[in-house]
């Protein structure tokens, strides 16, 4: 698990962030079975993802990438809370990220 911000690869960045959204959504669906309220699920997923993946597995090698990845995982968890606003925010962020890489 190598940290990568896909600075010159718009497609890699887009699919990577979509994967983080799907991961957050999948974890939320699994945790829903535990009967936890959305705020608990959101908090637990963010904390555990950050600690297990970004801190321990990737050693926070790329801070901006770690923050962005965690934000998209959080978006996936938040999707059930407010689907339309989260989808719009994700679309805008994904669009900016792709545009930034295409302009380079």
Average pLDDT of the segment spanning 82-101: 97
Percent over 70 (pLDDT), the chain: 100
Model confidence pLDDT, tens digit, residues 47-73: 999 999 999 999 888 888 999 999 999
Give the integer Cα–Cα distance in Å for 40 and 97. 29
Residues 6+ away with beta carbon under 8 Å from 91? none
Query: Which tokens sit at 82?
Result: 């407010």
Could you give phi then psi for residue 34, rounded to 5 degrees?
A: -80, -10
One-letter-per-residue 3-state SS of 2-45: CCCCCCCCHHHHHHHHHHHHHHHHHHHHHHHCCCCCHHHHHHHH
Model confidence pLDDT, tens digit, residues 11-59: 999 999 999 999 999 999 999 989 999 899 999 999 999 999 999 999 8
Q: Whose CA is closest to 29, among 80, 89, 74, 70?
A: 80
């Amino acid at each position: 698990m190598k940290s990568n911000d896909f600075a010159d690869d718009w497609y890699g960045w887009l699919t990577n962030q979509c994967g983080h959204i799907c991961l957050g959504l999948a974890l939320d669906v699994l945790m829903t079975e535990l009967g936890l309220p959305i705020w608990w699920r959101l908090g637990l997923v963010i904390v555990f993802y950050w600690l297990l993946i970004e801190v321990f597995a990737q050693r926070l090698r790329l801070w901006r990438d770690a923050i962005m990845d965690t934000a998209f995982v959080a978006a996936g968890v938040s999707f059930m809370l407010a689907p339309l606003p989260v989808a719009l925010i994700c679309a805008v962020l994904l669009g900016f990220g792709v545009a930034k890489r295409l302009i380079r």
